[in-house]
Structure 1
Amino acid sequence: MKKHTQDIYFTGYVTVLIEGDRPELFFNQLVQEEVLVWDIKKKDSQTCEAKIRKQDISRLRMQRRGTGYKISFRSKHGFPFLFTALLRKKPLLLGILISVLSVFLLSNTVWKIEIKGVSPELEHEIETQLDEYGVRLGAFKLTLGAPVDIQQRLLQDIPELLWIGVQEKGTTYALEGVPKTIVEEEIKPGPRNLVAKKKGVIVDMFVSEGAAQVGVHDYVDAGDILVSGLIGNEPQPVKEEDKTKPKDTRKRVAATGKVIARTWYNVSSAVPLDETYTVLSGKQKNEYSIQFGDSFRLPIWGFGDSEFKDSQEQDSVRHLRFLRWELPIGLSKNSEYERITKHVKRTKEEAKTQAEKLAKQDLQLQVGADADIISQKILHETVENGKVKLILYFQVNEDIATSQPISQGD
């Protein structure tokens, strides 16, 4: 009997009282009609009590017809009766519903934003950007972007940030940033020379500390000393009859300055005459749905046939929370970005101009923004396999000085 009644609470059952001559016979008749009856108790010779399922009440009444037995229901049990009772108490039910809804809304609202690892000025700039994104106190989290999206936007909109982490911890957004320039205590360099890191012809120099070893128009090779960190007269050679080595009285300093030299580079570049490539047009289509579990989705907004001939998609899901628990239900967003194919056909001169431009850009990245490219010349030009190929000669004015520590033996 336990096997048949273990889930009876969810379907509901009642305690029924049968009054009449030999009432136990009536229950036997019910059992023969395959009506589930349990906990049969005889109160007296005219009264018997038992429990039956809620769904069998109509069959009980049909069996009673014409028998002369009197039926009365003593008590009702189970979820269906409890739910019916709650429905009758509308104020209580409304209060429970409002309480659950309030907790749900509060659990999915931003109540705190923490920013660490940056200066107060940069923290204020981050707060301003977050406010523009809608990430502010009291905002509903489902309307905001995913933490990774917020991270990418902050790195794009705030150049001073080297990196920033964005974490969603319940109702708190925790951010920790690393600025690009970290002001550290200046460490005083030890004695050093300035040497050439590449060959070139000196065109200008400025020495703030140390003794210059070269002048304007001098040609230098990589490794040549440009500015010495030893100031003073060099000790005289030791004579054969002298047994003591003369003391080096030169002052040792950290050579500092800039040495601008004319340098030369050969750069190769190639540009196709016909080129096909794919780019994003900037148009996008968003589809929103309620996601249950890991896969089932219920569409709610933005669905329909796409007008894009070619596209790429990106999915993101924001799960709902109840207090500290993440629920298996969330808002899913599918973003479809239009992708277009462009075909460019260039003349030989157009390809040549583009190749020169690309070669100059690559060289500027190599020598740094402070270097000046003063001239360029095409050394070799060919057209092979549908591409214009160039070898260009550049002259550059750049700082070629690099530091080299002075050892005790120098």
Structure 2
Amino acid sequence: MKKHTQDIYFTGYVTVLIKGDRPELFFNQLVQEKVLVWDIIKKDYQTCEAKIRKQDISKLRMKRRRTGYKVQFRSKHGFPFLFTSILRKKPLLLGIFISILSIFLLSNTVWKIDIKGVSPELEHQIETQLDEYGVRLGAFKLTLGAPVDIQQRLLQDIPELLWIGVQEKGTTYALEGVPKTIVKEKEQPGPRHLVAKKKGVIVDMFVSEGAPQVGIHDYVEPGDVLVSGLIGKEPPAATEEEETEKPEDTRKQVAATGNVIARTWYNVSVSVPLNETYTVLSGNQETKYAAQFGDNFRVPFWGFGDSGYQDAQEQTSTRYLRFLRWKLPLGVTKTTEYERVSKQVKRTKEEAKAQAVKLAKQDLQLQIGKESDIISQKILHETVENGKVKLILYFQVNEDIATSQPLSQGD
């Protein structure tokens, strides 16, 4: 019976005292009406005690009216009676509610911002930006962006940052940054030549150290010495009689420094379609919020219905609530839909050619660097195949072709 009592604890039961002539007959009649009765104790000839379920109290009262027995409820047991008792203690309930609410709010408030790995000046700059984002002491975390969003905004707004990690650890935001390395002045290089790294025709020279070995309009091949790191007169070649006493080389060894600009050539192949379809963001967006329960179940509470976008890019982030150091399976999910639209471009042959030349120049400029200049261009070959204009272009470029080569022991 003990196990049975434990099972009905959540539904509730009462201890009743029945007074009257032969009270045990009253309980027998209840049992016949399928009322569960247990722990029956006969106190005396006219008094009997037993336990019944809370849900059977109404049947007991109806039976008492028809029989004339007196009923006295001695005690109440179980969760329903306990819950009712607590509800009657409003000050206690209010205190419990305020305590839980306070702990919940404190657990979801930013109490510390820890920044490591950067200088004090950069740390102050990061703190200023975080304050603009709303990330400050006392801020409610659900109103802030996700850590990855804060990271991206910091990298975008602070050029001095190479990288920064943002982690949410309970009530603390931990940030660890890596500043961009300031390139220090290079150490003085050792003795060296400047040699050609590609073929070309010299068009200009700026030599600050070393002896020029070529002049304007000279054609050079890769590996040719452009500026020598040996300054002075070269010793004469030793004769057969002087082979045992080789003349001493008195030339001064320096680090050849300068720029040697040469005219170089490139052939570039490129193709552009006459008809092209691509997708872009229209600028329209719609944001929805939902209560998140666990990992998969959501209940929307803001932004109902379909956005109506035929094509959209969706971005979702979830912020879970915390209670003390525990992350609760309850949070808020923010979903932003960005409308995408298809753009169709129809080009004439001349427009496709112009676009192809533009793309070829852009690709070549990336290859040669922004310090180099594209002087001229010429279309060598032009075809239209499979709806595409295909070009082979010839470019002339002015670029620095000098690269360093350390002096060898034999120089």
In the TM superposition, residue 264 of structure 1 has moved relative to its aligned partner by: 1.5
- Matched residue type, 1:140: F
Partner of 1:357: 358
Partner of 1:294: 295
Matched, 1:387 2:388: yes
Matched, 1:264 2:251: no
Partner of 1:326: 327
- Matched residue type, 1:398: E
Moved over 6 A (4+): 244-247
Q: Deviations over 1:348-376 (max 9, x none)?
A: 22222111111111111111122222222
Partner of 2:279: 278
Q: Which has the larger displacement, 234-243 or 342-351? A: 234-243
How far apart are the structure 1 equivalents of 2:357 and 2:59? 95
- Matched residue type, 1:201: V
Q: Deviations over 1:150-195 (max 9, x none)?
A: 2233333444433322211112222223334344685554444333
- Matched residue type, 2:282: S
- Matched residue type, 1:55: Q
How far apart are the structure 2 equivalents of 1:29 and 1:185? 105
Give the match's secondary structure for 1:10.
coil
In the TM superposition, residue 281 of structure 1 has moved relative to its aligned partner by: 0.7
In the TM superposition, residue 328 of structure 1 has moved relative to its aligned partner by: 0.9
TM-score w.r.t. the length of structure 1 is 0.87
Partner of 2:404: 403
Partner of 1:62: 62
Give the match's secondary structure for 1:304.
coil
In the TM superposition, residue 224 of structure 1 has moved relative to its aligned partner by: 2.3
Q: Which has the larger displacement, 137-146 or 334-343? A: 137-146
How far apart are the structure 2 equivalents of 1:357 and 1:63? 100
Matched, 1:91 2:91: yes
Q: Which has the larger displacement, 236-245 or 205-214? A: 236-245
Partner of 2:74: 74
- Matched residue type, 2:70: K
Q: Which has the larger displacement, 25-34 or 287-296? A: 25-34
How far apart are the structure 1 equivalents of 2:236 and 2:397? 41
Q: Structure 1 residues 114 and 227, CA, compared in 2 at 3 Å: closer, same or farther?
A: farther
How far apart are the structure 2 equivalents of 1:103 and 1:180? 41
Q: Which has the larger displacement, 30-39 or 103-112? A: 30-39
Q: Structure 1 residues 285 and 400, CA, compared in 2 at 3 Å: closer, same or farther?
A: same
Q: Structure 1 residues 4 and 227, CA, compared in 2 at 3 Å: closer, same or farther?
A: farther
Give the match's secondary structure for 1:9.
coil
Map residues 6-405 of structure 1 onto 2, 5 A cutoff. Answer: 6-43=6-43, 46-183=46-183, 186=186, 189-231=189-231, 237=237, 242-243=243-244, 252-405=253-406
Give the match's secondary structure for 1:217.
coil
Give the match's secondary structure for 2:295.
coil
Q: Structure 1 residues 328 and 334, CA, compared in 2 at 3 Å: closer, same or farther?
A: same
Provide the alpha-carbon RMSD of the alignment.
2.9
Q: Which has the larger displacement, 350-359 or 252-261? A: 252-261
How far apart are the structure 2 equivalents of 1:100 and 1:52? 36
How far apart are the structure 1 equivalents of 2:182 and 2:56? 79
Give the match's secondary structure for 1:259.
strand
Give the match's secondary structure for 1:365.
helix
In the TM superposition, residue 45 of structure 1 has moved relative to its aligned partner by: 5.2
- Matched residue type, 2:206: F
In the TM superposition, residue 36 of structure 1 has moved relative to its aligned partner by: 3.3
How far apart are the structure 2 equivalents of 1:312 and 1:62? 67
How far apart are the structure 1 equivalents of 2:140 and 2:331? 13
Matched, 1:5 2:8: no
Give the match's secondary structure for 2:9.
helix
In the TM superposition, residue 64 of structure 1 has moved relative to its aligned partner by: 3.3
In the TM superposition, residue 329 of structure 1 has moved relative to its aligned partner by: 1.1
How far apart are the structure 2 equivalents of 1:377 and 1:31? 108
- Matched residue type, 2:303: G
TM-score w.r.t. the length of structure 2 is 0.87
Q: Deviations over 1:243-285 (max 9, x none)?
A: 5766666555444333322222111222222211111111111
How far apart are the structure 1 equivalents of 2:56 and 2:214? 111
- Matched residue type, 2:378: K
How far apart are the structure 2 equivalents of 1:343 and 1:113? 49
Give the match's secondary structure for 2:97.
helix
Q: Structure 1 residues 126 and 5, CA, compared in 2 at 3 Å: closer, same or farther?
A: same
May I ask how many residue pairs the two structures share in their alignment? 410
Q: Deviations over 1:182-238 (max 9, x none)?
A: 446855544443332222223333334444433333322222233344455556655
Q: Which has the larger displacement, 342-351 or 49-58? A: 49-58
Q: Deviations over 1:29-73 (max 9, x none)?
A: 444444334444455555444433322322333333444543323
Q: Can you give the 5+ residue segments of structure 2 that lack an aligned partner in the other structure?
A: none
- Matched residue type, 1:76: K
In the TM superposition, residue 391 of structure 1 has moved relative to its aligned partner by: 1.8
How far apart are the structure 2 equivalents of 1:180 and 1:370? 23
How far apart are the structure 2 equivalents of 1:409 and 1:39? 114
Give the match's secondary structure for 1:11.
coil
Q: Deviations over 1:266-325 (max 9, x none)?
A: 112222222111111111111111121222221111112323222232322211111111
